[in-house]
């Protein structure tokens, strides 16, 4: 018995010594978890109060604000103490709770408007989530004030509107400058154009005087022949009329008059056609282009501009043309013609007074058309070539040029997506190559 008791006594301490470490480990784990939870809650609370995002925790059932961070109070224009205990509806959150009570646990970010304590609206980005906090159902509301961002966006929008308006005004002024330079070019060519019109007008006037004389002669003959036709054959006056006819036919050669009448009429028609062409070219050149680009035949433009400035060219140079077959291009025809005219006139001035040859070539490439205008004039130094497209730069005498022709021409070609390629040497003339891109045209236009 003694031995049994002794054995039992000796076993119990051993069991205690075995269980004690496990209990201690579990206790340590539990205490560590509690410390971590406390640290986590402390960390979360620090974040809750430190974040710049407004955070409000409200009771889902009563809609009463339980807690708010300083950022929320600042955005809403009040204090955290004033927020806590009041209805969230006062701040503009009222519409959020009903959907969440019906099961919508998450409200994604969206634009909303809250209310400050003084009643003014605040544009915000708002999101909300419903969750359990202990035994209570709560809603966590987070929001960011975008009032400053909206103000900046409005400023940017207004700036964009102002820039667009300025761009439109600049475009309008640029078009006005192009039109003014066009009118200045016509003014400089006015004497030559007047001469070109005066030549056909002169021989039309002379031909009309000749036609008037021929008409008087033919009227006299017709009158005498009619008298003979109406007189009886035995009328003694027939001899007098026949004598008058003989005298009239002796004074004028009827065959010559009839032949020359055809010539002077044909010349007069050609003269009026020439005047009409000059006037039409002037009208086409002077009028403002439409806003829309239209299909245009460059070769026709080249021919029209040669006729336009012919009086400027014919006394100082010879024209050689090598116009290739070109597709239509979509462009502002008046502006492109202005470019061609400017280069032609500059080429003529570069060869005055000695004269020379202007060679005009047109070619079609894979993605562009080319107009090449070369002259055998004085050429340009590299220093001059660096400035030929600068506004108001000119090597001509005062009153002979505005210094805007090539500058505006460069702008026109650039606006059409094209470019200039210029080469020149002093004493060896210049070559201006103008490249304009090809654009797809509708089949009905091409046909």
**Domain boundaries of the chain, sorted by first residue:** 1-50, 52-152, 172-284, 293-446
Comparing CA positions, the residue from 324, 330, 250 lying closest to residue 296 is: 330
Work out whether strand 317-323 and strand 356-364 pair parallel, antiparallel, or are unpaired. parallel
- Angstrom distance (rounded) from CA 424 to CA 426: 7
Model pLDDT, residue 444: 43
Model pLDDT, residue 175: 67
Model pLDDT, residue 179: 64
Identify the bridge partners of residue 424 per DSSP, sorted by sequence position. Answer: 430
Model pLDDT, residue 188: 59
Model pLDDT, residue 51: 84
State the number of CA atoms in the 13 A half-sphere of 310 facing the CB.
16
Model pLDDT, residue 6: 41
What are the pLDDT tens digits along the chain (447 aa)?
344 444 444 444 444 444 466 666 666 666 665 565 555 556 667 778 878 889 999 999 999 999 999 999 998 999 989 899 999 998 999 888 988 888 888 888 888 889 988 888 888 989 999 988 878 899 999 998 887 776 677 777 887 888 888 777 777 776 666 666 666 666 656 656 666 677 778 778 888 888 888 888 888 888 888 888 888 888 888 888 888 888 888 888 888 888 888 888 888 888 888 787 777 766 666 665 566 788 989 999 899 888 878 877 877 788 999 999 999 998 888 889 889 988 998 888 888 788 899 999 999 998 899 999 999 988 999 988 888 888 777 776 655 555 677 888 888 898 899 999 999 999 889 999 999 998 754 444 444
Distances (CA, A) of 102 to 23, 60, 105, 134: 47, 11, 9, 20
CA dihedral sign of residues 122, 124, 129, 135: negative
- Angstrom distance (rounded) from CA 323 to CA 369: 11
CATH topology for 52-152 is: Beta-Lactamase (3.30.450)
- Angstrom distance (rounded) from CA 125 to CA 7: 77
Distances (CA, A) of 131 to 62, 100, 120, 125, 138: 15, 10, 30, 20, 6
- Whether the bond into 430 is cis, omega within 30 of 0: no
Task: Mark 14-26 as b/e (b = at least 16 C-beta within 10 Å).
Answer: eeeeeeeeeeeee
SS3 23: helix
- Angstrom distance (rounded) from CA 72 to CA 227: 120
One CATH from 2.40.50.100, 3.30.565.10, 3.40.50.700, 3.10.580.20 for 293-446: 3.30.565.10
How long, in residues, is the chain?
447
């Amino acid at each position: 018995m003694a031995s049994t008791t002794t054995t039992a006594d000796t076993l119990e301490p051993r069991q205690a010594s075995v269980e004690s470490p496990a209990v201690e480990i579990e206790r340590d784990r539990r205490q560590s978890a509690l410390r971590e939870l406390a640290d986590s809650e402390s960390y979360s609370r620090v974040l809750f109060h430190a974040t710049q995002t407004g955070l409000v925790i409200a009771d889902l059932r009563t809609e009463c604000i339980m807690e708010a961070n300083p950022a929320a109070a600042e955005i809403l224009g009040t204090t955290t103490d004033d927020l806590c205990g009041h209805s969230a509806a006062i701040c503009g959150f009222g519409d959020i709770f009903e959907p969440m009570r019906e099961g919508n646990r998450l409200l994604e970010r969206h634009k909303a408007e809250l209310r400050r304590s003084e009643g003014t609206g605040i544009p915000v980005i708002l999101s909300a989530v419903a969750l359990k906090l202990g035994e209570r159902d709560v809603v966590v509301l987070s929001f960011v004030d975008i009032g400053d961002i909206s103000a900046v966006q409005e400023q940017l929008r207004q700036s964009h509107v102002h820039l667009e308006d300025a761009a439109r005004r600049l475009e309008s002024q640029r078009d006005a400058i192009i039109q003014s330079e066009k009118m200045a070019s016509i003014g400089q060519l006015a004497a030559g154009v007047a001469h070109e019109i005066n030549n056909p007008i002169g021989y039309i006037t002379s031909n009309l005087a000749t036609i008037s004389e021929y008409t008087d002669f033919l009227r006299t003959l017709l009158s005498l022949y009619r008298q003979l036709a109406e007189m009886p054959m035995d009328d003694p006056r027939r001899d007098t009329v026949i004598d008058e006819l003989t005298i009239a036919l002796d004074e004028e050669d009827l065959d010559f008059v009839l032949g020359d009448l055809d010539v002077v009429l044909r010349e007069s028609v050609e003269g009026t056609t020439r005047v009409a062409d000059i006037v039409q070219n002037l009208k086409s050149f002077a009028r403002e282009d439409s806003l829309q680009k239209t299909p245009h035949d460059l070769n026709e433009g080249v021919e029209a501009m040669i006729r336009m400035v012919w009086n400027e060219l014919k006394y100082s140079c010879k024209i050689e043309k090598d116009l290739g077959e070109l597709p239509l291009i979509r462009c502002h025809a008046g502006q492109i013609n202005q470019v061609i005219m400017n280069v032609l006139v500059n080429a003529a001035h570069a060869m005055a007074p000695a004269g020379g040859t202007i060679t005009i070539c047109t070619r079609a490439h894979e993605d562009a058309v080319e107009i090449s205008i070369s002259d055998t004039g004085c050429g340009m130094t590299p220093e001059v070539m660096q400035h030929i497209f600068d506004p108001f730069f000119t090597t001509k005498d005062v009153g002979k040029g505005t210094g805007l022709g090539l500058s505006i021409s460069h702008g026109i070609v650039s606006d059409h997506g094209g470019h200039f390629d210029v080469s020149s040497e002093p004493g060896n003339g210049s070559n201006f190559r103008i490249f304009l891109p090809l654009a797809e045209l509708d089949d009905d236009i091409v046909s």
